[in-house]
Amino acid sequence: MGTAENGAATWKSDLALTLLAALLAFAFDAWTGFGQLTDAGGDNDNLLRLVEVRDLLAGQGWFDLHQYRMGMEGGFVMHWSRLVDAPIAVIALAASALTGSRPLGEDVAQVLWPALLFWSTLFFTARAARSFGGGGAVLPAILVGAAGYYFIGIYDPGALDHHNVQLMLTMASLALLLEAPARRRAALLSGLCAALTLAIGMETVPYVATIGLCVALLFVADPDGERTIARDFGLGFAGIAAVVFVTTVPPSAWGAAQCDAFSVAQLVVAAIAGVGLAAITSIGPAAGSWRRRFGSLAALGVVLGVVVAVLFPQCLSAPYGSLDPRLKELWLDHVDEAQSLLTLIVRDPARVAARYVTPLVAIILMALRLRRGGWRRQDSLVTALLAIAFAVGAWQVRATTFSIAFAVIPLSAWIAKWRARAETSSSLGVALRLVAVWLVSINPVWTGVAAAASVALDKGKPVGDGGAADTTCEKKASFAPLGGMADTTVLAISNLGAPVLAYSSHRVFAGPYHRNVAGNLLALDAFLGSADDARAIVEAHRVGLVAVCPGNVETVILTRKAPQGFLADLLRGRVPDWLEPISEKESPVSLYRVRQAG
């Protein structure tokens, strides 16, 4: 156990087994009718990504990331990467050509793209487990990984958001580094994957930085074994960063630093870090003794810090430090994926079990391994990523997706160890321990425990506090009436922004995106102010429709903030004379047409 098996036969075997698991998950989704395509589950990002892909296929420029139908007149520039739009668009275009139907082509893309990512993530997880725990860890990794990834939901049909791509690339970078001592160019490909996941979104900065730091420190500890690995990783990282920059950033913006998207700031850091690491490993005097190696790398770190502090100081502040206080209070503080562990313990303790237990168990396993001695390079890489992901997850729950994934690797080795014992022992105690190890390691088991606890805790909870009876306007059918109306501007809360764009041709002001400050504030002014305030905004910006979702959590938050405001009055049935109710009573979305003056 612990020695990687890297022959072509193992690659084929791992591909086949992970493909089988992916096909089973796909078959289950098909059996349930791919329901996520008509019920977005409240995920605005998946819907807006679909809108971006449609815009790209309709002729919007490759470098033009404006969302023209959201925000103030003229729209705003999104911070997402075309690197995710492109493959989805290619699948949709090819499927549309084969089927003769653009809607069907879109459905194929929404099903096929997440399924391919599920398969590839599972494959790299299996490869990482093989390198970490030997061949016996592969099957547990596939089963535990497949169960965890499936129930996390980021690979569901319709999951077009970039987090699943980032997890796949990060796991690929880790798996390739684990294999690097035995496979040529694995480290080069690992650096490539690390740069790509960073280019797709800044959320993975902690993991990319951790991987790079581990590569550097492993070189300090073992120059003979790690020199080529560190050099190739650095060259791959810097090289692909340069390629991404010239292919996704317009020449007119090459000098503009952005902290929330790949730009010259990230390119400069990637180039200095990657080329600097490669240079240090290749220059004899710098790579001599361990003190020289450490000193050279420390100097490289200082250079990076100075460059960022002098050239890009704005990127050293908190990600949302400059966000308008009203948006922080009424939007960011209530974003589900941005909640901290402490917040969850207070507000939703049952969810803690679903998101934090298996990573914590894996951390304990690694701590016990360290205590027993015999620490390996594989242990350093896996433990560092697992610990960082857990720490980031304690800050924001979205990062638990990564910690759950990294936990699969030591957990699968743990299962493999007990399977080996069970095969050589007829003891009932060993068999029971093996069963317990399996149950503890499978994240959906904890999800089920959390769900049962949540049901118990939610008993008697009033509607509007997040209970099961809430209507959140997540289904495609809820927006069908909007799709049949003449194009106009719709005044709606931010949680309805992406669905309105995806299911109709209208435009909206609000959407849950930090760059859309002006549009979100305008919607807040309208809904929190009086009916007269709302009317002034409606007339000034030629709003034709007002859409309200009574059960949405954002609606509840805003009505509590302004119980005498325009939105609260609409929910009480106080419709001003300049609005005309037009939706059916049973519809989750209440629609009002703005009466034309005169």
191-206 per-position pLDDT tens digit: 999 999 999 999 999 9
Per-residue model confidence (pLDDT) at position 549: 93
Query: Do 419 and 523 sit in the same domain of this protein?
Result: no
Burial of 103 from C-beta contacts in 10 A (0-12 / 13-18 / 19+): exposed
First to last CA, the chain: 82
Query: Do 314 and 438 sit in the same domain of this protein?
Result: no
Per-residue model confidence (pLDDT) at position 157: 94
Domain assignment present for 468: no
Host H or E run for residue 531: helix 531-540
Question: Can you give the pTM of this predicted structure?
Answer: 0.93
The per-residue pLDDT for range 389-420, each reduced to its tens digit, is 999 999 988 889 999 999 999 999 999 999 99
CA 529 to chain centroid, in Å, comes to 35
Query: Do 224 and 345 sit in the same domain of this protein?
Result: no
Per-residue model confidence (pLDDT) at position 465: 32
Query: CA 70, CA 508: separation in Å to the nearest integer?
Result: 5
Around Cβ 118, how many Cβ atoms within 10 Å? 26
Own/partner long-range contacts of 555-559 (Cβ < 8 Å, ≥24 apart): 555/493, 556/464, 556/465, 557/330, 557/334, 558/330, 558/493, 558/524, 558/527, 558/528
CA distances from 418 to 165, 284, 439 (A): 33, 46, 13
Host H or E run for residue 300: helix 290-311
In one letter, which amino acid is 19? Answer: L
Containing structural domain, residue 400 = 319-459
CA distances from 407 to 150, 215, 279 (A): 15, 20, 34
Domain assignment present for 3: no
Query: Do 195 and 233 sit in the same domain of this protein?
Result: yes
Query: Do 201 and 326 sit in the same domain of this protein?
Result: no
Per-residue model confidence (pLDDT) at position 598: 54
Per-residue model confidence (pLDDT) at position 423: 87
pLDDT under 50: residue ranges of the chain: 1-5, 459-471
Around Cβ 36, how many Cβ atoms within 10 Å? 21
Query: Do 196 and 327 sit in the same domain of this protein?
Result: no
Query: Do 349 and 258 sit in the same domain of this protein?
Result: no
Query: Do 404 and 502 sit in the same domain of this protein?
Result: no
